[in-house]
Each structure stands twice: as C-alpha cells, then as structure tokens.
Amino acid sequence: MVDETGDIAFDLRGLCAWLAVHCIGSERKILIDKNPFGIIAYGDIYSFSVEEKALLLKACKNKAKNVYYLNDFDEGFFGALATTDMLPIFQA
C-alpha cells in the first residue's frame, strides 16, 4: 500500500481517503499523516473534528516540503477546510 518513499501509493490515495473518513481515533490520525492531500482531495472531511483538520493542515505543510506532492493537487481541494470552526486555526 506504500510506495518507495514510504507513503501511500498514488493509485491507492482514494481508497486511503475513504478509509480515513470511516475510521476514527488513532487510525484516522495515521492515515492523515501518510496521505493528507489525498484525504482532502478524495475524502469527505466535513465530519472531521477541528483537531483532525488542524492535523491535516500540519501534515500538508510537512508533505509540501517535497514538491512531488504538489504536482497532483490543485488549490480547489482545500475548500473543505474553509469552515467556520477552523477560523481560529487559520487566524493563528
């Protein structure tokens, strides 16, 4: 399920996003860390807690250090993070 970098294989990012939506607790956090862009792009993160959404942002920041990840997604995917409950996170 992982590629040579140790992250979720490209073809399985959608499946990983689906699993993240249906998992809770520590399992979801593991998937967030491994596949944040895929979860935002292919998962329904509206049900995620503010803490989980903040983890997504942090994981995206960490993954963005590798330009490889940025080629596969466009900024429109991040609209799901723009919810009123996330306002304090963005202000910070």
- Domain assignment present for 63: yes
What does the alpha-carbon distance between residue 91 and residue 89 come to, in Å, rounded to a whole number?
5
> Looking at the domain assignment, is residue 2 inside a domain?
no
* 28 in Cβ contact with 52 (< 8 Å): yes
Number of domains in the chain: 1
Closest CA to 32 of 61, 5, 4, 75: 61
Whether residue 1 is contained in a domain is answered as no
What distances in angstroms separate CA 38 from CA 24, 88, 92, one per listed residue? 17, 24, 24
> What pTM did the predictor assign?
0.76
Euclidean distance between CA atoms 25 and 32, whole angstroms: 11
In a domain, 55, yes or no: yes
The predicted-structure confidence for 48-81, as pLDDT tens digits, reads as follows 999 999 999 999 888 877 656 555 566 667 777 8
Position 28 scores a pLDDT of 93
Residue 73 is part of which domain span? 10-91
Coil, strand or helix: which one is 47?
Answer: helix
pLDDT at residue number 74: 62
In a domain, 33, yes or no: yes
- pLDDT tens string 9-46: 878 888 989 999 999 888 999 999 988 988 988 888 88
